Amino acid sequence: FKAFHHEVAELYDLVRTPLLTAWMVDLLGEDVVCHTSMYITKDPGDPTVVHWHQDCSYNPMDSRCAIVWIALDDVTIDNGGMWFIPGSHLLGQLEFEKNATGILETHHAETFGKKVPMELKAGQAVLFSDQLLHMSLPNVTKDRHRRSFNATYANAALVPHLHKGLSSVLDYKQY
């Protein structure tokens, strides 16, 4: 897994800001650690669909993490903004399958609730459980990027392990 906050001092400072860590402590318990962070981009015209999935499917912390997703550009439906199924995190980890693009997809996700778009202004953030179902559509704009920085936090007492099914679909040597 990537941890850009270990490579860039300003990102390290960002993931440790008092307000953000206070939110994470409220969600995860007193002692939290940011174990993964990454930069994500959807360039103008990017046809990629990221199908419905739960980030916990990739996570060696066994589904007890929280994610902050910070918009670096204005995020709209047109430039590939994310969609969520509110309340789906209460279902726990759902079955998934690795699709042709490498996404660990949850089939028939829309049967678990109504999908809602998450539109943000640059600098705004959304916090969500790694069990929340989410997806994104193509960036159909000609001139607007959709860039973000996200960081995943867990309680420091959790011990990483490969949960059921994960070792069969992920090749950890690539990370």
- Alpha carbons 75 and 84: distance in angstroms, whole number: 14
Q: What is the pLDDT of residues 14-31, one digit of tens each?
A: 999 999 999 999 999 999
Q: Quote the CA–CA distance of 15 and 34 in Å, as a whole number.
A: 7
Q: CA angle, 110 as apex, 167 and 103 as ends, to 5°? A: 30
Q: Where is 105: in which H helix or E strand?
A: strand 104-105
Q: What is the pLDDT of residues 55-86, one digit of tens each?
A: 988 776 665 899 999 999 999 999 999 999 99
pTM: 0.87
Place 169 in a pLDDT band, splitting at 50, 70 and 90: very low
Amino acid (1-letter code) at residue 147: R
Rounded distance, CA 130 to CA 110, Å? Answer: 17
Q: Residues 146, 73: contact at Cβ < 8 Å? A: yes
Sign of CA dihedral 85, 165, 29, 22: negative
pLDDT-derived band at 170, boundaries 50, 70, 90: very low
